[in-house]
Amino acid sequence: MRYEFDFSNEVSLVTGAGRGIGLAISNELSNLGSTVALMARSPEELHVASKTIKAKGGKAESFVCDVSDLESVKHNIKEIENKLGPIKYLVNNAGVTGATGRDWEVDPVRWWRTMEVNLKGAFNCSHIVLKGMIGRRQGRIVNVSSSSAELIIPFMSSYGVSKAALTHLTTSSAEAAREFGVSIFSYCPGLVRTKMTDYMEKTNDLPIIARQGMIDAFDSGKNVNPLFSAEGVAYLLSGKADVLSGRHLDVREDLDSLVKKSKEIIDKDLLRLRIPR
């Protein structure tokens, strides 16, 4: 999937940028010339991420923010645009595993916290950034979803529900923004080895039946290299897939092939969450 896109003189905002997939995406966008605003809750992780990017000649600045806090999001995005310039690309990657266990056993506060970060956080960032994108009639947003948006996850309902809602939010927002030249995608990055997946794989909070699929996937090498996943995000931000704005796209599928099949996808209303009738 490797393309040499040129994002020079463009500003990207990546949430959850301190580690894992978010860090890989930030590195990729920096390598392609973008100035990257790194947003996360951990100042320590952000410091290391920013230092790493700058050491390679990239441009990056750190912004400590809890994306579930709208006022903090407003403040930080204003600071980003004052310091770096208008945000052309937004990657809503911040997310938490959340409450694990059966719904009648989990802590309701932890269950709802998953929604606040994974769904409300993405909405908050998009809500603020879209105002500028709509005014400039350009911009692209990638909402990092999950295959959990499509699957039944009985011991992690908060995570699955949050990702399904994020994917549906993508469809609604994309339809509203289309006439203004803004594209929005839901993106499944594949199973990437991160602190989150390490926890999900090993925790005793989840019964083995809930973890076995992930364990088997890692054991069989079906997990995805974070660089490959990050390249998929760059592809979507490049504009090559704008015709599929509003769709749920998966790194494990060839994105070029999906673009070539875009007429069929649109005509048959594929790659969206639907209840078959």
CA dist 35 and 4 (Å) reads 16
Residue 205: the pLDDT is 62
196 compared with 237, residue with greater pLDDT:
237
Convert 260-273 to b/e letters by CB count within 10 Å (16 or more is b).
Answer: eebeebeeeeebee
| Percentage of the chain lying above the pLDDT 90 cut | 75
What are the tens digits of pLDDT across the range 118-156?
Answer: 999 999 999 999 999 999 999 999 999 998 888 887 788
Residue 248: the pLDDT is 97
Q: What angle do CA 157, 158, 160 make, to 5 degrees?
A: 65
Mean pLDDT of all residues belonging to the chain: 91
Answer positive or negative: Cα dihedral of 98, 101, 106, 108.
positive
Residue 13: pLDDT over 70 = yes
DSSP conformation class of 19: S
- pLDDT tier at 99, thresholds 50, 70, 90: confident
* Partners of residue 142 on adjacent β-strands: 91, 185
CB atoms within 10 A of CB 73: 25
Residue 201: pLDDT over 70 = no
Residue 269: pLDDT over 60 = yes
Residue 209: the pLDDT is 56
Q: Are 36 and 30 in contact (CB under 8 A)?
A: yes
Supply the pTM of this predicted model. 0.91
Residue 39: pLDDT over 70 = yes
CA dist 147 and 95 (Å) reads 14
CA dist 77 and 235 (Å) reads 24
- pLDDT tier at 4, thresholds 50, 70, 90: confident
Residue 51: the pLDDT is 97
| Percentage of the chain lying above the pLDDT 70 cut | 87
Residue 212: the pLDDT is 54
The SS3 call for residue 90 is: strand
Identify the weakest region by mean pLDDT among 13-22, 85-94, 190-199, 232-241: 190-199
Residue 213: the pLDDT is 54
Residue in 135, 125, 216 with CA at minimum distance from that of residue 182: 135
DSSP conformation class of 244: G
CB atoms within 10 A of CB 88: 21
Delineate the domains of the chain, giving CATH numbers in brackets: 11-190+225-267 (3.40.50.720)
Residue 200: pLDDT over 70 = no
DSSP conformation class of 34: -
What are the tens digits of pLDDT across the range 67-80?
Answer: 999 999 999 999 99
Residue 16: the pLDDT is 97
Residue 273: pLDDT over 80 = yes
